[in-house]
Chain A
Amino acid sequence: MKKTMMMAAMAVLLSTGTATAQKLAQAQVPSVIVNSFQKSFAKAYDIKWEMDGSLYKVEFETGMLGDDHDAWYDATGKIVRHKEDIAQSDLPAKVSATIASQYSGYAVDDVDRVTEGSSTSYKVELKKPHDKWKVVFDSEGKVLSKIAD
């Protein structure tokens, strides 16, 4: 009993400590945002809302494989940013080409597509033993930033 209570307490500490965002129930989210979200992602499930600064962030999954999505809405219900998990094969050919040329020998670990307004970028985790990079490409295959992980 004591043990479970301690573990519960630790879990609370950890979650509040790591998550900078404030979790929200759907009923606490303005209806306009909820409706906008539901119109865009009718098949979303495992939906979790939280405040991210002045934005409403929603985490959800879609499809059979449970692709992870993160979407950010402003107070008027406009989608500001959308990040989704995609397969390596869904990367545009130019991005793949850049990876093949500039990062040969690296394995592609995790691929996210980030849409902000009209611009789309791709965040790719590249990995070699003892060497790991987070590289962001634009749709033309140009490297926008790279961060050693």
Chain B
Amino acid sequence: MKLLNQSLKHLSISMLVIVSLWSVVFYVVMISEIKESIDEGLENYKRIIVFNATTDSTVLSKTDFDAANYTVQAIGKDAALRVKDSYIDTIIYMQDADDEAPELEPVRLFTTAFENNGSYYQLRIINSMMEEDDLKEDLFWAVLALYLILVVSIIAINNVLLRRLWKPFYNLLNQLTSYRLGSGHKFPTVETDTKEFKDLQAAVNTLLQHGTESYEQQKQFIENASHELQTPLAISINKMELLLEKGNIPDAEATQLGEILESIERLTRLNKSLLLLSKIDNKQYLNNQPVTLNDVVKQVATQLEDLAEYKQVSISIDESATLIIHIDPALANIIISNLLKNAITYNVQGGNIHVVIATHQVSVSNTGSTEALDAARIFNRFYKAHNNSKGTGLGLAIVKAISQLYGHTLSYSFTEGRHLFRIAFKTR
């Protein structure tokens, strides 16, 4: 859930609670305020009536509420003296101007008693009240409208203000998402006055700085280490070759020496592959020029035909287009050679390899094991699908690294019993 929506959610819920509580308090206060005001009005009216009664005896004979809204009733002295001023909410039959027949209306009823010329009277005055249910309903709709306006306002504020406030954050996030260590891109920068975002940017950049430094050091280390290994490997191979050449070694020992030599040569291959990878990573292959991939495929296929023949694997090349790409020729050769060697090495006897050169892609499909390889790991360095393999486990990783270097897309799929490797070349 996005931060904007989270804050919207929390605000909406708390607003609902606040507005509801507020409306209850408001209702109670308003009702009591209204009653107070009505009661005051009733009392003032009472004073006038009581005062008038001293001079106007018709006041004392008023027994119906009708237009004047009060009744006066003579009562006994004892009863009169027990009366205390009271205000109550009640309902009486009344006929308002807009009513055809009398109907029950809520009223505020004020009861008091007074003395006039030695006689005692009970005075009752009424005042129409608004119906509380109507009031509640009106209030409910008003509160609901207020709530909706608040929510809409919050959404609007969220969308405009918060979006603008958080813009540097999302900007930074986007830049970080596409950032790759060692890509040589500039560190993410955002224009902002917000301290938190500035701090975030500084922290991120410090982290990236460290990351980039270690990445560069690591790349450089692998290259240096590989270089340093070349000379001792050369010494080992050459001395072993000379030793074997000298002869006079019993066969059993010679075979063991041969195995040692093979191991050293395997080590050499591994070292060369690592060196190649680190050179690709360090972008040391930049002798880019137009290379006709059709020629490369044919040339590599010729180089490998004896190996293929020995493994009884046939290679067919389908040139549906002439594919010219801009690449370092050595790397073009390595890509094709590694894909083809992979297809030959992990093929079955009597199998076949089909190379298709199309407008923007090259695909190499081959028969082989009947199960799909792990597409997620197949291009990883040192991943070996076959444990007994004497390969370096770097062949496909190198193809991947070269593809990445030039922005081409390398993919693997397994369909209809064939393993298919495809490079889709980036079109300019």
Contact = CB atoms under 8 A, between A and B. Distances in A.
Interface of A: 26-32, 34-36, 38-39, 42, 75-77
B46 interface: yes
Given A31-B112, A34-B112, A35-B112, A42 B83 contact: no
Nearest to B110: A31
B85 A36 contact: no
Interface in B183-215: none
B84 A29 contact: yes
Contacts of B112: 31, 34-35
A25 to B, nearest CB: 10
Nearest to B50: A35
Given A32-B81, A42-B47, 17 more contacts: A29-B84, A31-B111, A31-B114, A32-B115, A34-B85, A34-B112, A35-B50, A35-B113, A35-B114, A36-B115, A39-B47, A39-B51, A39-B54, A39-B114, A76-B115, A77-B81, A77-B115
B428 interface: no
Q: Which 9 A-B pairs have the closest CB atoms?
A: A35-B114, A31-B112, A31-B113, A31-B83, A35-B50, A77-B115, A31-B85, A32-B113, A32-B115
Interface string B227-268: 000000000000000000000000000000000000000000
B405 interface: no
Interface string B72-93: 0000010011111110000000
Interface of B: 46-47, 50-51, 54, 77, 80-86, 111-115, 120
Contact of B113 (A30, A38, A42): A30
A38 B50 contact: yes
Instruction: Tell me what chain B mostly uses at the interface: helix, strand, loop, or mixed.
Output: mixed
B141 to A, nearest CB: 36
25 contacts: A26-B85, A27-B84, A28-B84, A29-B84, A29-B85, A30-B81, A31-B80, A31-B85, A31-B112, A31-B113, A32-B80, A32-B81, A32-B83, A32-B113, A32-B114, A32-B115, A32-B120, A35-B113, A35-B114, A38-B47, A42-B47, A42-B51, A75-B81, A76-B81, A77-B81
Give the residue among A27, A28, A31 with the most B Cβ atoms within 10 A.
Answer: A31
B69 to A, nearest CB: 18
Contacts of B114: 31-32, 35-36, 39, 77
Interface of chain A: mostly helix, strand, loop or mixed: helix
B117 to A, nearest CB: 12
Contacts of A26: 85
Contacts of A42: 47, 51
Nearest to A27: B85
Contacts of A31: 80, 83-85, 111-114
Residue with the greatest number of chain B CB neighbours at <10 A, chosen from A28, A35, A36, A77: A35
B290 to A, nearest CB: 89
Nearest to B111: A31
